[in-house]
């Protein structure tokens, strides 16, 4: 079964850091771009960023709202993707989803992991 599972969410104080993980199974992430998308409580979807695959030089791209604060990385040997989040603010509170990108869309999403930034 093709799936991705996020982990690492939790409560963190403003200014703190957190590292999210996304473990893939049933497919090899080496063939795919992988995205992070977040959803603040009661709000819509916001694309956070992506890591392209080896064929596209592992290029990373970010939303302006997180550029310089968040870093996406991947370990193809572990079939995992990561989201390092620094200098967290209350507005970063959200459910963070990992999604597999194939030609045309994000076709496999995890259940998400909740990040709460609060003192």
One residue of 110, 113, 115, 117 binding other proteins per CB under 8 A: 110
Pairing of strands 10-12, 113-117: parallel
State which residue, 89 or 102, has the beta carbon closest to other proteins. Answer: 102
In angstroms and rounded to an integer, the radius of gyration of the C-alpha atoms of the chain is: 13
Is there binding between residue 61 and other proteins (CB under 8 A)? yes
Is there binding between residue 109 and other proteins (CB under 8 A)? yes
Is there binding between residue 16 and other proteins (CB under 8 A)? no
Longest dimension (CA), the chain: 42
Cβ neighbours, 10 Å, residue 37:
21
Site string for other proteins, 29-48 (x = CB under 8 A): ------x-x------xxxx-
Is there binding between residue 105 and other proteins (CB under 8 A)? yes
State which residue, 16 or 46, has the beta carbon closest to other proteins. Answer: 46
Q: CB–CB of 18/85 below 8 Å?
A: yes
Q: CB–CB of 72/62 below 8 Å?
A: yes
Q: CB–CB of 34/107 below 8 Å?
A: no
Residues in the chain: 119
State which residue, 60 or 86, has the beta carbon closest to other proteins. Answer: 60
What residue ranges bind other proteins (CB under 8 A)?
Answer: 35, 37, 44-47, 49-50, 61-64, 97, 104-107, 109-112
């Amino acid at each position: 079964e093709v799936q991705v599972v996020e982990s690492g969410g939790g409560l963190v104080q403003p200014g703190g850091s957190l590292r999210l993980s996304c473990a893939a199974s049933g497919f090899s992430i080496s063939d795919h771009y992988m995205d992070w998308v977040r959803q603040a409580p009661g709000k819509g979807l916001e694309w956070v960023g992506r890591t392209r695959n080896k064929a596209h030089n592992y290029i990373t791209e970010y939303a302006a709202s997180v550029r310089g604060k968040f870093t996406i990385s991947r370990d193809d040997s572990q079939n995992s993707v990561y989201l390092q989040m620094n200098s967290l603010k209350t507005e970063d509170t959200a459910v963070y989803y990992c999604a597999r990108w194939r030609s045309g869309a994000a076709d496999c999403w995890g259940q998400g992991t909740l990040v709460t930034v609060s003192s």
